[in-house]
Amino acid sequence: MTSIRPTLRTVSLLLRPLPRRSHSTTTSRSTSSVSASEVSHFSSLASSWWDPMGPSRVLHLMNPLRHDFIASCLADGPPSPTPSTAGSPANPNTLHYLDVGCGGGIFAESLARTIPLPNSNAESGGTVTRAASITAIDPTTTLIQIARDHARKDPKVSAHLNEGRFRYVNCTLEDVIAQTPNNITQGSNPGGSGLELRRKDGFDVVTLFEVLEHIDSTASISPLSFLTDCLRLLKPGGWLVGSTIARTWPSFLVNQVIAEAPWPIGVVPKGTHEWRKFVNPDELEAWASEGLMRSSDLERDSVMRSGSEALQGMQWKCAGVVYFPGLGWKFVPGSESWGNYFWAVRRGV
Amino acid sequence: MRPISPSVLRPYVCPSCRTARFSKRRFGSKPAPVTDIYDVICVGGGPAGLALLAALRASPATSKLKVALVESQNLDKSRSWKLDPQHFSNRVSSLTPSSVSFLQKIGAWEHLDVARTQPYQAMEVWDGETGSKISFDWSMETSPFEDLRTVATMTENTNLVRALLSRIAASGDENLSIFSESTVSSIENGGSGEADGPDLSAWPVLSVAPTGNSTSSPSRIAARLLVGADGINSPVRRYTDIATEGWDYQRHGVVATLSLADQVPTIFPVGSRTAYQRFLPSLGGPIAVLPLPNNHATLVWSTTVENAAYLKSLSPGAFVAMVNAAFRLGMPDLQYMMRMERPSTSITDLDEDPHESELTWRLQHTPSVPQLPPMVTGVQEGSVASFPLRFRHASTYISPRVALVGDAAHVIHPLAGQGLNLGLGDVASLSSTIEYAVNHGMDIGDILTLERYTADRWATNAKIGGTCDVLHKLYNVPGQGPVAWGRSLGFEIIDRLPFVKGFLMRNANS
């Protein structure tokens, strides 16, 4: 027998010609944050998304640090328990997650794996991310299909998927926002499947990993409006957690020149990043504050503009990470100002 | 750095070649139903496999994993193993302090019969050809007021296996299946399942049947992670097509349990014990006597296949004389005694065995050295045995959903007593890799998880196995030629430089 390597690559290529162009027209609407060129770029990577040695390897290697960073956020400020989610001490996994821009599901699937099965013995210690459910959305049809196919290869994740604790939805963030809390009960859904995307009391954690730097700024859409939408979906005390890359000369050198260089130097497919879309931590913090105020306006539906009271209890976190070839990703304090970094903003209670 | 291994080079295999490589896989067109899905299935219930299970059960993060063990021997016999304090099993391993602390960490040490173990604090190693010597002890590292540090702890493998089994039993039987007296009749990939069910096509599915009972239908169990702790001829390794390189040394290790004369009472500090090893280049390898409790010792004598057969055929008295001679006489004397006529059974009633009288006579004409072990006075009946010495190293320890530990991954020359320690090191590394994966939502069978394990262990094991191999070859050059001169120079230099010696000892124990 040869090794039991996933046959994802060959199977998906044989069965399903990649609909590169067709879906980008169906998914990118005029009011969407989704860029058609980004969608087509990631569609072309779809078949190798889960290949541990493939073009997404660096992304796979970063994934455990996302769990560590979320755990540090939850330790700094636990989302406030609501009656519906307050868990018994036996089950500390009570948090509801929304993963925006889940791609092929690298983070979403790993988080789903930490959700305990209902029949499992509840006295288990719980996991650092304390997840009870996760909804993962992405506008790229191919990637959602890849993600679903891959999830089926793990019986535990597959069970979560079948029983609704874990969901993949092919839609945009705007589609989720369009489901106002009032019409949730009427089952309106862009996909037409009657799925309830938006939680009435909001999500405990919204994640936005390696997404911001892929958003096009147009007249109606900007990273700021995108962040505002994410913050609107948070419950008070909830965390919006993400990662992105600072727009500096070192990051230009590392991400555009070195990382996208041809093999054997490069580790990222060419065309993955566009340096001018990168975001610096101070810009991000300013957008987050502005986004919190705007989202509070939108949620209150009032003509009165909210001011600094929307920022009460806001927390901001930022941690730089550096990729060392052969060693992997490491948290390096201070590196957030010139390279890859994790960031998080907590909505006040 | 990751070692250069096929798993690293794999991404550069072109797609068409890849298709050809993987075309051998079976797609399981009509698979029998899989009865159970486990997180970890360990094939092989030796010290390494049992330690892995015990380690997983001991850590809070991994204690809820559903685990299974498949072992062809009857584990009940190992559980109820018992020997009186004056008798010892002939398979004894020297556990380094890091192995001991790992066993303490997983809660197995407290299940061990510690009265049957023997720590030793010093080691005398010398070259039988040139007489150059090196003494290992921690005296240059520790102050005279603290206890001398342990070099290693002699432990019977049966004692360790029994301790690990009772540690596993103490963790309860929830999520644990032990298939004792069972063999793996086949390993193949699972089926792709129903449209909405899990897809097991990339998961190994084992058919496990009770030994010697071909009538009962085998259980089919699927593994998220299949661990091969199944020894040098590992069926798990063959299933994954992991290549293994190596050679046979054309040497056998002769083992026996010995009883010693009373210690000369001047050993300081009181109660400390010493291990002795003398290289015998003309006879094919070193002889070592390592201490056991109650003035017993275990023998490991690496020698040629013919010499091993000769030693095993000797009467107990002659065998004891040969062991004493091997530590004391010069090479020509030893070679002569190794070819002496064996007395036929009719003349064994003689007052003295010819080997014994030969030794007594020759000792009078041999200058004594200070580092000699106490005289061996007897050999435990039925304890003389031998096993072939081999070197094997798998090209990698992992494959998707498969990991190899212990002898399945590497077999080395026993001259440094590191074999079991390397296996326990593998287990410590693999169990902490699994723990990290569980805490970070990683799939424990995924190559991204397992590559941490092979990166951690492969180079370490290659270094130690390679060192033992070089030492073996160096000490198989007889006579007083340049190699003998060079190796004694090396010995003398190391012996005179405390910091180099300290570095070597820390390295051996890390």
Residue A7, C-beta contacts closer than 8 angstroms, at least 6 positions apart? B22, B25, B201, B202
Q: Which of B292, B142, B443 lies closest to A154 in space, CA to CA?
A: B443
CA distance linking residue A136 with residue A106, whole number of Å? 11
In this structure, what token pair is assigned to residue B228? 């091969």
Q: Which helix (H) or strand (E) covers residue B48, if one does?
A: helix B47-58
Q: Is the pLDDT of residue A190 over 80?
A: no
Domains belonging to chain A, first-starting first, are 22-346 (3.40.50.150)
In 3D space, the residue among B406, B359, B434 whose CA is nearest the CA of residue B50 turns out to be: B406
As a whole number of angstroms, the distance between CA A107 and CA A168 comes to 12
**Residue of chain B whose alpha carbon sits nearest to that of A156:** B198
Is A252 marked within a binding site? no
Q: What ipTM was predicted for this assembly?
A: 0.83
Question: Judging by DSSP bridges, how do beta strands B244-260 and B376-379 pair with one another?
Answer: antiparallel
Give buried/exposed letters for B456-482 (b at 16+ CB in 10 A, else e): bbbeebeebbebbbebbebbbebeeee
* Mean pLDDT of the residues in chain A: 80
* Residue of chain A minimizing CA distance to B59: A125
Contact A67 B439 (CB under 8 A): yes
DSSP codes, B408-477: GTEE--GGGS-HHHHHHHHHHHHHHHHHHHHHTT--TTSHHHHHHHHHHHHHHHHHHHHHHHHHHHHTT-
Residue B491 CA to residue B133 CA, distance in Å, equals 6
Residue window 68-127, chain A: list those with CB within 8 Å of chain B: 68, 109-114, 120-121, 124-125, 127
Residues of chain B with pLDDT under 50: 1-30, 346
CA B470 – CA B487 distance, rounded (Å)? 11
pLDDT score of A86 = 47
Minimal-distance CA residue of chain B relative to A112: B441
List B292's β-bridge partners, or say none.
B296
Q: Which among B19, B241, B443 has the least Cβ separation from residue A1?
A: B241
Q: What pLDDT shows up at residue A25?
A: 33
Q: Which two tokens stand for residue A161?
A: 């998927």
Select the residue of B19, B174, B447 nearest A52 (Cβ to Cβ).
Answer: B447
Q: Do A3 and B189 touch (CB under 8 A)?
A: no
Alpha-carbon distance of B19 to A172, in angstroms, equals: 36
Q: What band does A19 get if pLDDT is binned at 50, 70 and 90?
A: very low
Evaluate whether B412 touches B422 at the Cβ level (below 8 Å). yes
A to B CB pairs, distance under 8 Å: 108
Fold of domain B36-96+158-246+390-472: FAD/NAD(P)-binding domain (3.50.50)
Averaging pLDDT over each range in A184-193, A251-260, B27-36, which range is the top one?
A: A251-260
Distance between CA B1 and CA A259 in Å, rounded?
A: 19
Taking the C-alpha atoms of residue B67 and residue B88, their distance in angstroms, rounded to an integer, is 32
Reported confidence tier of residue A20, pLDDT bands at 50, 70, 90: very low
For chain B, the domains span 36-96+158-246+390-472, 111-151+250-387+478-509
A75 pLDDT exceeds 90?
A: yes
* Distance (Å) from the alpha carbon of B394 to chain A's nearest alpha carbon: 15
**3-class secondary structure, B83:** coil
Query: Whole-angstrom Cα distance, residue B163 to residue B85?
Result: 17
Write the DSSP assignment of B241-289 as a string of letters.
T--EEEEEEEEEEEEEEEEEPPPPTT-SSTT--EEEEEEEGGGTEEEEE
CA distance B431 to B69: 15
What is the per-residue burial (b if ≥16 Cβ within 10 Å, else e) of A52-63?
Answer: bbbbbbbbbbbb
Check residue B435 and give left, alpha or beta (phi > 0: left; psi -120 to 50: alpha). alpha
Q: Please list the alpha-helical segments (H only) found in A197-280.
A: 223-232, 249-251
User: B172 in the Ramachandran plot: left (φ > 0), alpha (ψ -120 to 50) or beta?
Assistant: left
- Calculate helix-pair angle for B498-509, B482-496, nearest 10 degrees: 90
**Least CA distance to A113: which residue of chain B?**
B441
Give alpha helix (H) positions in chain A: 8-15, 22-27, 36-44, 57-76, 106-113, 141-151, 155-163, 173-178, 223-232, 249-251, 281-300
Residue with tokens 């993400």: A242
Q: Check if B36-96+158-246+390-472 and B111-151+250-387+478-509 are the same fold.
A: no
Please tell me the total number of residues recorded for chain A in this structure: 349
Rg, C-alpha atoms of chain B: 25
* CB-CB under 8 Å, A124 with B37: no
Q: Give the pLDDT of residue B434.
A: 97
- Residues of chain B positioned with their CB less than 8 A from the CB of A111: 441
In this complex, is the C-beta atom of B401 within 8 Å of any C-beta atom belonging to chain A? Answer: yes
The closest of B288, B353, B364, B371 to B326, measured between CA atoms, is B288
User: Which of A252 and B225 is assigned the larger pLDDT?
Assistant: B225
Question: Under a CB-based contact definition with an 8 Å cutoff, are residues A39 and A18 in contact?
Answer: no
Is residue A214 part of an annotated ligand binding site? yes
- Using 50, 70 and 90 to split pLDDT, how confident is the model at A13? very low
Going edge to edge, which strands form the sheet with B152-156? B92-95, B152-156, B118-120
Q: Which residue has the tokens 């419950």?
A: A235
CB atoms within 10 A of CB B404: 30
Band of pLDDT at residue A79, cut at 50, 70 and 90: confident
Residue B158's pLDDT is 96
Positive or negative: CA dihedral B304, B308, B314, B320? positive
Residue A23: CA count within 13 A, CB half-sphere: 23
Strands B122-127 and B274-280: parallel
| pLDDT at residue A293, rounded to an integer | 87
Distance between CA A262 and CA B223 in Å, rounded? 38
pLDDT of residue B122: 86
| DSSP 3-state of A261 | coil
Positive or negative torsion for Cα B52, B57, B60, B61: positive
Q: How far is A113 from chain B (nearest CA, A)?
A: 5
Q: Would the annotation count A138 as a binding residue? A: yes
Tokens read off for B476: 């198989």
- Position of tokens 């992105």? A244
Query: pTM (2 decimals)?
Result: 0.86
Q: How far is Cα A276 from Cα A67, in angstroms, rounded to an integer? A: 28
**Binding residue per annotation — A38?**
no
Domain range B111-151+250-387+478-509, CATH architecture: 2-Layer Sandwich (3.30)
Q: Which residues of A touch B202 (CB under 8 A)?
A: 4-7, 153
**Omega before B235 within 30 of 0, i.e. cis:** no
**Given an 8 Å threshold on Cβ–Cβ distance, is B26 in contact with A112?**
no
Query: How is B115-176 classified by DSSP, letter by letter?
Result: GG-EEE-EEEEEETTT--EEEEEGGGTS-TTSPPPPSEEEEEHHHHHHHHHHHHHHT-STTE
10 Å CB burial of residue A332 (0-12, 13-18, 19+) is: middle
Q: Which of residues 36-65 of B touch A (CB under 8 A)?
A: 37, 60-61, 64
